[in-house]
Amino acid sequence: MVIFIEQLERSIFPMKAISLLAAAALLAAVPAQAQQEAPPLPYTQTGSVTLPSSDTGWDYVKFEPGSARLFMGRLKDGLTVYDVDRGQAIKTMENSAGANGPALLPEYNRGYVAMDDGSLLSFDLKTLKLIARTKLASDGGLNSGSLDPATGRFHVITGTRPKEATWFSIDAATGKLLATTRFPFRKMDDPAADGKGHLYAPARLDGIVLKLDSSTLKEQARWDVGCNVSKMKYLVATDRLLGACTGDKPSVFLMDPASGRILSRVPIGKGIDALAYDEERERIVSSNYEGSMTVVAREGADTLRLVGTIRTAFGARMMDMDHRTGRLYLVNAASTDFPGKDGEEEVTRYHPDSFRVETWQPN
């Protein structure tokens, strides 16, 4: 009986050992297989340059189309011109303290900057020489501006107001004020121009998009998009509108400009403040205050697909794309938040000499 048991153990235990070895080999192979099957990274950070700075905040950063020059509205520190090929700041525009929203128009050799005191700064784009700083709004700051190529008008829009938004329509070639138009919305953002006589203007706090006649700015239609829409772009190749929403329902969406119908929508990170579209890669990127960049693929004319969420740093809400290379340039600075007094909002102070420009390479 003892002999039989010993023989049985010898016959079973080798089988056990073989099974355990096979299982271990199988488990060891799983991470390698998972790693092989993981999708490629859409972007990788390849650089970061820190610039001299005060404790100021900042707003829009914009590329001059087709060039290496990135124009950064750094409020108290003015309009900084940064050469991405050289990795250094090359100029701070004179009389530009309060710079908020730059716009670069090489077809007119003009640059314009919406300023936080309600004035509009204009300069020669080739020489970077100041042309004028003209007062437009007396009730607060200007937010940004955009060109309508169909009319040659540059529309400058006020920041958030108690009751209504104001558009100042400028002759893009000369800087002359042509018209002032008021809309019954507290906050509006830059419209998308289709180049065919229409503007698609987001009214952020009302969650609607207005279709306007670009010559008269008369409303032709309005569409409820169900979220705080703050960004609109017109995609020429597909005749579609690309929009993005902030607030408690952050998302990007595709819209039919003829009917206002939402064709596709995907969620993004919280606090979007910049939206870039890479036509070559059919890729959309939002930079978000929460500390993320959301990457979305456009698949055909009418479909969006979430690719992934890149974790950046809290407060990194502004960027722009160099369309020569597809690289993203994301700006941020170290900060400290202090509690507000008597239940008011927190107060953020940025650390001097911590403002940085990060480079993100597409893959």
Q: Where does the pLDDT of residue 37 fall: very low under 50, low under 70, confident under 90, or very high at 90 and above? A: confident
Q: Where does the pLDDT of residue 73 fall: very low under 50, low under 70, confident under 90, or very high at 90 and above? A: very high
21 Cβ contact partners less than 8 Å away, ≥ 6 residues apart: none
The structural domains of the chain, with segments of one domain joined by +, span 57-188, 194-363
Q: Is the pLDDT of residue 51 over 90?
A: yes
Percent of the chain residues past pLDDT 90, beyond the cut: 88
The pLDDT score that the predictor gives to residue 19 is: 52
List the single range of 116-125, 273-282, 339-348 with lowest mean pLDDT.
339-348
* Surface-to-core class of residue 266, CB atoms within 10 Å of its CB (0-12 exposed, 13-18 middle, 19+ buried): middle
Q: Which fold has domain 57-188?
A: Neuraminidase (2.120.10)
Q: Check: CB of residue 154 under 8 Å from CB of residue 144.
A: no
- List the one residue out of 191, 201, 253 whose CA is nearest residue 227: 253
Q: Is the pLDDT of residue 8 over 90?
A: no
Q: Which two tokens stand for residue 332?
A: 């941020």
Q: Where does the pLDDT of residue 342 fall: very low under 50, low under 70, confident under 90, or very high at 90 and above? A: confident
Residue indicated by tokens 């032709």: 220
Q: Is the pLDDT of residue 188 over 50?
A: yes
Q: Where does the pLDDT of residue 81 fall: very low under 50, low under 70, confident under 90, or very high at 90 and above? A: very high
pLDDT in tens, 244-302: 999 999 999 999 999 999 999 999 999 999 999 999 999 999 999 999 999 999 999 99
The pLDDT score that the predictor gives to residue 5 is: 41
Average pLDDT score over the chain:
93
d(CA 337, CA 167): 34
The fourth-level CATH superfamily of domain 194-363 is: YVTN repeat-like/Quinoprotein amine dehydrogenase (2.130.10.10)
Q: Where does the pLDDT of residue 6 fall: very low under 50, low under 70, confident under 90, or very high at 90 and above? A: very low
Q: Is the pLDDT of residue 14 over 70?
A: no
Q: Where does the pLDDT of residue 24 fall: very low under 50, low under 70, confident under 90, or very high at 90 and above? A: low
Q: Where does the pLDDT of residue 28 fall: very low under 50, low under 70, confident under 90, or very high at 90 and above? A: low
Q: Check: CB of residue 149 under 8 Å from CB of residue 131.
A: no
- DSSP per position, 196-229: SSEEEEEEGGGTEEEEEETTT--EEEEEE-SSEE
d(CA 46, CA 78): 27
- List the one residue out of 121, 212, 131 whose CA is nearest residue 165: 212
Task: Establish whether domains 57-188 and 194-363 are of one fold.
Answer: no
Q: Where does the pLDDT of residue 310 fall: very low under 50, low under 70, confident under 90, or very high at 90 and above? A: very high
Q: Is the pLDDT of residue 21 over 60?
A: no
Mean pLDDT value across residues 33-57? 89
- List the one residue out of 75, 71, 52 whose CA is nearest residue 62: 71
pLDDT in tens, 191-221: 999 999 999 999 999 999 999 999 999 999 9
Strand partners, 264: 254
- List the one residue out of 319, 311, 249 whose CA is nearest residue 59: 319
The pLDDT score that the predictor gives to residue 13 is: 44
Q: Is the pLDDT of residue 83 over 90?
A: yes
pLDDT in tens, 138-181: 999 999 999 999 999 999 999 999 999 999 999 999 999 999 99
The pLDDT score that the predictor gives to residue 25 is: 53
Question: Which segments of 52-129 are extended strands (E)?
Answer: 61-63, 69-73, 79-83, 88-92, 99-105, 110-115, 119-124
Q: Is the pLDDT of residue 358 over 80?
A: yes
Phi-psi region of 125 (alpha: psi -120 to 50; beta: other; left: phi over 0): alpha
